[in-house]
Amino acid sequence: MSRNNCFDLLRLFAAVMVVVYHHAGFMKFPLENPGQWFPLDSIWVQMFISISGYLVTKSFITSKGFDQYMVKRCLRIFPAIFLCSFLVIYVIVPFWERDVIGFITSEKTFKSFLNMALLHGINVGNAENPYGLRTLVNPPLWTLAYEFLLYICLGILMSINRTWISPAIMIALSIILCAGYADSLKNSYFYGVQYWTFLRLGINFYVGSLMFLTVDKWGGDKYKLTLASVCILVLYYLSGNVADVDMLGRVALSVLTILAGVTFATGIGSGKFDISYGVYIWSWPVQAVVVSMIKIDFWYSLALSLLIIFVISFLSRNLFEERFLKLKPI
C-alpha cells in the first residue's frame, strides 16, 4: 500500500490524544477536551475510524475477494489483541489479586480473556481490584468490536457493488436511522455493539470509504481547498447544535481528516514505526500501572506512560505482529 500520505502519523496522533485525555481522567487533572468547546464526542476515535474506512476500502479493492480481504483484517487485528489480552489478564492484573493462583486458574478469568481477545469484553469480572484503582481492565478496546463489524459490513457491500454508491447509501441510511429511531437504537445490541453508536461511527467509516472511491473526483488542490473550506464552515455553523453536529459534523470531520491525510506526505510512522494500533490497545493498562505505582505530577506521569507505551508498541509490532502481517495474501 502506497505511503504517499500521512495517515499513519494522523492515527498515531489520534491514539496519543486518547492517551492524554484518559490520563487526565486517571489523575483527575483539569485538562480541557475539544468536546467542551465543540459538542462532537470522541473526535480522536472518529478520526481513527474515518482513516480506517479509507484504508480498508483500499485493502478490499486490492484483494481478490471477500475471503482474502477478511484474512487481511483478521491478521491485522487479532494477533496483537490476543497477546495484549493474555499479558494484561494473566501477568499484570494478578499483581493486585490476593489469590493469584486461584485467579489465574479460574474459568471466569479464561472466559474473560477469550471475550477480550475476541472483541467481546473490556473487563475481568472476577478481578478484585484491577491495577489497585478499581477500574476496568482495558476499556478503550470497546471501539474494536465496532470497527471490525464495520469491516465485515463494508466487505459484504463491496462484494455486491464496488462503486461509491455502496458507502453513499450507508451514510444516508445511518443518518436517517439515527435521526428517526434514536431511542430504539440506543436499546438494541448485537455482540455487545450498540446499534446507535455503531451507526454513528459508521458515518465516519463510510465517509472515509466514499472518499477513497471518489478520490479521482476531488484529488486536485482546488477541490481539496473547496472541500476543506465547506467543512470548516459547516462545523462552525453547527457548533451550537448538538444534534446536528453529531450527524453532519461527523461527515465534515471525516472529510477534513481524509483531506489532511492525503495532502501531506511523510515517511514518519510507516512500516515498522506504524505503532498506532499498539498505542491504542496497550495505553490503558500501562497508564493504570504508572498512575497506581508511581506518584509523580501529571505531565511527568503522562510522559513516562507514553514512553513505555511507545516501547511496548514498537516491540509488539516488530517482534510479534510482523510475523502475522507477513502472512497476509498479496
Whether the CB-CB separation of 35 and 17 falls below 8 Å is answered with: no
- Can you give the pLDDT at residue 246? 78
- Can you give the pLDDT at residue 265? 76
CA distance linking residue 152 with residue 156, whole number of Å:
6
* Overall residue count recorded for the chain in this entry: 330
Mean pLDDT within 31-42: 57
- Can you give the pLDDT at residue 48? 95
Whether 17 shows a pLDDT value over 50: the answer reads yes
Mean pLDDT within 118-127: 93
CA distance linking residue 116 with residue 95, whole number of Å:
19
Mean pLDDT within 110-118: 96
Q: How far, in whole angstroms, is CA 235 from its chain's centroid? A: 22
CA distance linking residue 134 with residue 297, whole number of Å:
21
pLDDT greater at residue 242 or residue 95:
95
- Can you give the pLDDT at residue 5? 84
Whether 30 shows a pLDDT value over 90: the answer reads no
Whether 269 shows a pLDDT value over 50: the answer reads no
- Can you give the pLDDT at residue 274? 86
Q: What range does the domain containing 15 cover?
A: 7-28+42-212+265-325
Residue 1 in domain? no
- Can you give the pLDDT at residue 266? 66
Q: How far, in whole angstroms, is CA 81 from its chain's centroid? A: 13
Whether 241 shows a pLDDT value over 50: the answer reads yes
> Where do the DSSP E strands lie in the chain?
189-190, 193-194
CA distance linking residue 285 with residue 178, whole number of Å:
33
Mean pLDDT within 276-301: 96
Residue 310 in domain? yes
Q: Give the tens place of pLDDT for each residue, 131-145.
A: 999 899 999 999 999
**34-43, 68-77, 192-201, 307-316: which has the minimum mean pLDDT?**
34-43
Residue 70 in domain? yes
Within 7-98, residue ranges assigned H as helices are: 7-26, 34-37, 43-61, 66-87
**91-100, 178-187, 237-246: which has the minimum mean pLDDT?**
237-246
Residue 242 in domain? no
Give the three cell numbers for residue 211: 472518499
pLDDT band at 35 (very low <50, low <70, confident <90, very high): low
Whether 16 shows a pLDDT value over 90: the answer reads yes
Residue 299 in domain? yes
Mean pLDDT of the chain: 91
The proportion of the chain whose per-residue pLDDT surpasses 70, expressed as a percent, equals: 92
- Can you give the pLDDT at residue 267? 58
Report the number of distinct structural domains present in the chain.
1
pLDDT greater at residue 3 or residue 194:
194
Residue 250 in domain? no
Residue 300 in domain? yes
Q: Give the tens place of pLDDT for each residue, 48-60.
A: 999 999 999 999 9
